Amino acid sequence: MINPTSRIKSIELSQIRKMFEVTNPDAINLGIGEPDFNVPENIKKAMKESIDKNETHYTSNKGIIELREEIVKKFKNDNGIKTNPDNIIVTAGASEALFICAQAFIEKGDEVILPNPGFLSYEACVKIAEGTVVPIDCKMENEFKLKAEDVSEKITKDTKAIVLNSPSNPTGAVMEKEDIKAIADLSMDNDFLIISDEIYEKIIYDKKHYSPANYSDNVITLNGFSKTYAMTGLRIGYLNANENITEELLKVHQYNIACASTTSQKGAYEALTGPQDAVEKMISEFKNRRNLIVSRLNGMGYETVNAEGAFYVFPKIEDEDFVVKAAKAGVITVPGAAFGSNGQGHVRMSYANSYENIEKAMNILEERVVNG
């Protein structure tokens, strides 16, 4: 038998991806972090036309220049970040962007501060790079928000990076401006990287998004089109950093995938330059669903923070058998422990499902799990 490397043996397959393998057609899936909306028609049309024009060959490693120019405009208009096309790399989703950050800058002995609970890919990428995970508590009493004073206590001479994710997967927490700025200051004072995963930045309801790249030069900003434009399967994302950082990231990207899908890049260009009404409609609907699921869960006695962004809630559910009971009743969820030790006693539920299905799911939980 040929054994895998020790770094691969140290990680497990994603518990979230198992949700994609649910075969019960009658189950209501609140486990998958994927918008249930379709790709907007103008984006579909742009991709179809690009194929008809035989625009299916390699692009520049960094991505087509027109798309990178639009991403530069997006950063300026939406985030207040001044950059240029040479500092942009178009990637195969934000997932690839995260992976190449770890491969380019993390090595054995490096400490990486990660939110706990936090998206499970962060820990896996750090471990594959043989870095050391330093978890930082995101407490329910702070609405699961990462606080600068807690970060300060975790910094050592071996701190290489911190991953920020606002809005957060799995909690929906949106970080406060003062914490973003304070952590950015810490990164400059202590010379470590901020890897800022901003994939959910548009899905915020009553607050404002702030990018740490406004306050520090030591930031790699990750983003993409999967969540905002429902382009998950098209695998298209991007990153931005200063010139010296981007050059190192490009080395990994070149030898990993060469370039992102040409067709997806054409769709991404249309996403940025075309009408945004489909996005606005989607976010409005997500807010309605958020209000519904939070109200219903609290009504059942499951304490639930009123998530300010993304499309997840993270109710406190201390019944260790809840996920199994819910699945047997016909509602798929994800155990909170999958997202770190602080996820213990919680369950992640995605409301990227129809209002009607969420209402039905809550009825099932109330009738067959809570009162069953």
Q: Quick: pLDDT tens for 32-90.
A: 889 999 999 999 999 999 999 999 999 999 999 999 999 999 999 999 999 999 999 99
- Has residue 310 got a pLDDT over 60? yes
How many domains would you assign to the chain? 2
Give the distance between the most distant pair of CA atoms in the chain: 59
Query: Both 172 and 312 in a single domain?
Result: no
Domain at 123, CATH number: 3.40.640.10
- Has residue 248 got a pLDDT over 90? yes
- DSSP class per residue in 325-357: HHHHHTEE-EEGGGG-GGGTTBEEEE--S-HHH
pLDDT, position 72: 98
In a domain, 14, yes or no: yes
Query: Both 135 and 30 in a single domain?
Result: no
Query: Both 157 and 288 in a single domain?
Result: no
Task: Give the residues across from 17 on adjacent strands.
Answer: none
Query: Both 98 and 57 in a single domain?
Result: yes
Helix (H) or strand (E) holding 252: helix 243-256
Residue 179: strand, helix, or coil:
helix
pLDDT, position 219: 98
- Confirm if 171 and 136 have CB atoms less than 8 A apart: no
Residue range of the domain that includes 303: 6-39+277-370
Give per-residue pLDDT as tens, 7-30: 888 777 765 555 545 556 789 999
Q: What is the pTM of this model?
A: 0.95
HSE toward the beta carbon, residue 345, CA cutoff 13 A? 8
Query: Both 246 and 281 in a single domain?
Result: no
Residue that terminates a domain, selected from 255, 273, 291: 273
Give per-residue pLDDT as tens, 316-359: 999 999 999 999 999 999 999 999 999 999 999 999 999 999 99
In a domain, 1, yes or no: no
What is the number of H-type helices and E-type strands within the chain?
12, 12
Residue that terminates a domain, selected from 239, 273, 307: 273
Residue percentage of the chain with pLDDT more than 90: 92
Domain at 320, CATH number: 3.90.1150.10
Query: Both 218 and 70 in a single domain?
Result: yes
For residue 152, what are its two tokens?
Answer: 């300060």
Query: Both 114 and 215 in a single domain?
Result: yes
Residue that terminates a domain, selected from 252, 273, 294: 273
